[in-house]
Amino acid sequence: MSDSEADEELLSLLRQSLGINGNQNSREADTKVLKDAEYVYDNSIDVALDTHGTKAAAATIWTLMQEKQYSFKTWSEHTLHPKEKDEKTVNFIFFMDLLNFCFWSENPDPAQCFSVEYHGQIFTGYWSLVAAIHRALEESIPITTPSFWIDETACTNDLLDHVFRSATSGPIPLLEQRVHCIREAGRILDTDFSGSVIALVHEANHSAASLVNLLTTHFPCFNDTARFDSKSIRFQKRAQILVADLWACFEGQSFGCFHDIDIITMFADYRVPQMLHSLGCLRYSPPLENQIRSLREIRSGSSWEVQLRGCSIWCVELIRRHIKRQHPKAEVDAILIDFFLYDTMKQRMDEGVETIPHHRTRSIWY
């Protein structure tokens, strides 16, 4: 065998370890995100977990979830989330989570923040993206169709600029990076999955871990990792949330049927850590807290940022364990806790109730 030829046996072992080989038992697949988060927590010096605060938060979260009858069905109750259970919705969710990152604006003035007007309403943050997708589809722009993304005569940069136009003078952050993600994903789907998101989902064989690993192995823009203490740390926020959105949208059936959905962790972003701190679960070192409260940016991949993300994942896992310990029959996982915390934090933000700002990191990962 020449140096340039692939060693099929080694490739097979690699694919098996990642859970992306259709012939192996996909139950063995693992994303390793939770293990890496625990490592970050064990070695963190600027972010700490408050044991009493975490237990109290678990009790509060469970009580509120019961009062609100919060479940994965809540996902579809959001006005902008797609309601149909078909292949077009799978494409919608893929495109949505392909670009589900970095919506905060430098200027806190609402007149300067990126927002989208849709059906007479103004949407900000994540919802601005979802509104922009609906708006484009209603304008007969096939923005969720993978073959369209690589047709640069039809899907021009000017057209994409139009799709993501803002209702204010503040443009969508990282537009150039978003366009790159769209083009790259279109090419990879075309080359590796016959241009089909459905083919990608089918290859995972109903395994959440396998689908996460497929996304992070094939698509560089989904491979959300960082270095910490010379160790590679996996977060895989957007890959995991894509799986979670499919599961919630299809209510665990059809394209959302995953036998190992409980392997998905909290999605390490900038909103949920903010909520965990407000609940008394997370504590920051004085330099880090000063950086956050001063609205100064924290570099993507820095030790501070990795600690914020890793400790948040582990914190939500401990909250989940506390709930299960107190309520053994509770159907609760990290996905539902994350969704609940995000929705609650967004509501508090809209009401002007924030005890600490979110940390500021410019990144395509979240």
Name the pairing type of β-strands 282-284 and 47-49.
antiparallel
- Cα distance between residue 307 and residue 49, in whole Å: 11
Rg of the chain over all Cα atoms, to the nearest angstrom: 20
Please answer whether residues 170 and 105 qualify as being in contact, where contact means their C-beta atoms are separated by less than 8 angstroms: yes
pLDDT in tens, 330-362: 999 999 999 999 888 777 766 777 889 999 999
Q: Which amino acid is at 55?
A: K
Distance of CA 141 to CAs 78, 85, 201, 208, Å? Answer: 23, 21, 24, 31
Identify the band that residue 264 occupies on the pLDDT scale cut at 50, 70 and 90: very high
- Work out the average pLDDT over 155-179: 97
3-class DSSP state of 121: strand
Give me the half-sphere count of Cα atoms (radius 13 Å) on the Cβ side of residue 161: 5
Residue 333 annotated as catalytic: no
Of 10-14, 157-161, 199-203, 240-244, least confident by mean pLDDT is 10-14
Q: Give the model's pLDDT for residue 9.
A: 55
Share of the chain above pLDDT 90, in %: 85
Cβ contacts of 55 within 8 Å, gap of 6 or more: 322
3-class DSSP state of 225: strand
How high does pLDDT run on average in the chain? 92
Identify the band that residue 21 occupies on the pLDDT scale cut at 50, 70 and 90: low
- Cα distance between residue 15 and residue 38, in whole Å: 25
| Cβ-count burial 185-202 (b if 16+ within 10 Å, e if not) | bbebbeeebebbbeebbe
Q: Give the model's pLDDT for residue 111.
A: 85
Cβ contacts of 357 within 8 Å, gap of 6 or more: 274, 292, 293, 295
- Is the pLDDT reported for residue 83 higher than 60? yes
Select which of 245, 260, 269, 333 is catalytic: 269
In DSSP notation, 266-328 reads ----SHHHHHHHHTT-EEE-HHHHHHHHTT-B--TTSHHHHHHHHHHHHHHHHHHHHHHHH-T
Helix axes 271-278, 303-326, angle to 10 degrees: 60
pTM of the model: 0.90
Cβ contacts of 22 within 8 Å, gap of 6 or more: 203, 205
- Is the pLDDT reported for residue 11 higher than 60? no
Of 24-28, 90-94, 123-127, 322-326, least confident by mean pLDDT is 24-28
Please answer whether residues 170 and 112 qualify as being in contact, where contact means their C-beta atoms are separated by less than 8 angstroms: yes
Identify the band that residue 13 occupies on the pLDDT scale cut at 50, 70 and 90: low
- Work out the average pLDDT over 120-131: 96
Please answer whether residues 40 and 213 qualify as being in contact, where contact means their C-beta atoms are separated by less than 8 angstroms: no
Please answer whether residues 129 and 178 qualify as being in contact, where contact means their C-beta atoms are separated by less than 8 angstroms: no
- Cα distance between residue 334 and residue 266, in whole Å: 5
Q: Give the model's pLDDT for residue 294.
A: 97
- Cα distance between residue 40 and residue 304, in whole Å: 11
Identify the band that residue 16 occupies on the pLDDT scale cut at 50, 70 and 90: low
pLDDT in tens, 275-312: 999 999 999 999 999 999 999 999 999 999 999 999 99
- Is the pLDDT reported for residue 254 higher than 50? yes
Give the helix/strand (H/E) hosting 226.
strand 225-228
- Work out the average pLDDT over 219-226: 98
**DSSP tag of 124:** E
Q: Give the model's pLDDT for residue 289.
A: 98
Identify the band that residue 7 occupies on the pLDDT scale cut at 50, 70 and 90: low
Q: Within its chain, how far is the Cα of 253 from the centroid?
A: 21
Q: Give the model's pLDDT for residue 18.
A: 54
The single residue listed with the structure tokens 């978003």 is 178
- Is the pLDDT reported for residue 226 higher than 90? yes
Q: Give the model's pLDDT for residue 3.
A: 47
Cβ contacts of 237 within 8 Å, gap of 6 or more: 224, 267, 268, 269, 365, 366
Q: Give the model's pLDDT for residue 342.
A: 87
